[in-house]
Amino acid sequence: MLPTTPQAQATYAALHADCAALGTRLFTVTVMDDATHLTHRAYTSHPVEYPVSGTKPIIRDGWYDQCIAARQVFVANTTPEFARYFFDHALITSLGLGSCINIPIFAAAGPVLGTINLLAEDHHFTPDKLAAYSVLINDCHFALLDAMAQI
């Protein structure tokens, strides 16, 4: 597990609370580690199913191309849309979740530092909800950059 500061945890917890108010049911933060080719979970709303000690290999697939390489939000409003990229899709659906967004966090000139990962029931991420989540991320963007850079 990579250590995070209390300030980073407070940033993640505040964003988690704001996203939960919009209907997010599972909230995680992952940080990229290009040296080890892993992502490290820095925050989780579900510590039993998705502990902070968790890692995932960085796989250069369609999700990576869109979310990391192109720096675009990945949106999947049904399980089949994300199942091909997420090896844990059975666990996700067992929690009653069927849609997700992954939001890359990066400075204008730098690499993607990590992602904010939000999951909810099927078809949760409507255009209006996506706009609302975007406002939340933009409001704490610099705090997220600081938090992710501390790892």
Q: Using CA atoms, how far apart are residues 95 and 133, in angstroms rounded to an integer?
A: 22
Please give the share of the chain, as a percent, with pLDDT higher than 90.
89
The CA distances from residue 90 to 19, 79, 83, 128, in Å, are 23, 9, 8, 28
Q: Is the pLDDT of residue 1 over 50?
A: no
Confidence of residue 4 (pLDDT cuts 50, 70, 90): confident
The gap from C-alpha 18 to its chain's centroid, in whole angstroms, comes to 14
pTM of the predicted structure, to 2 decimals: 0.95
pLDDT 10s digits, 10-29: 999 999 999 999 999 999 99
CATH fold, domain 6-149, is: Beta-Lactamase (3.30.450)
Helices 6-21 and 127-139 cross at an angle (nearest 10°) of 160
Q: 40 exposed, middle or buried (CB, 10 Å; 0-12, 13-18, 19+)?
A: buried
* Chain segment 44-98, per-residue pLDDT in tens: 999 999 999 888 899 999 999 999 999 999 999 999 999 999 999 999 999 999 9
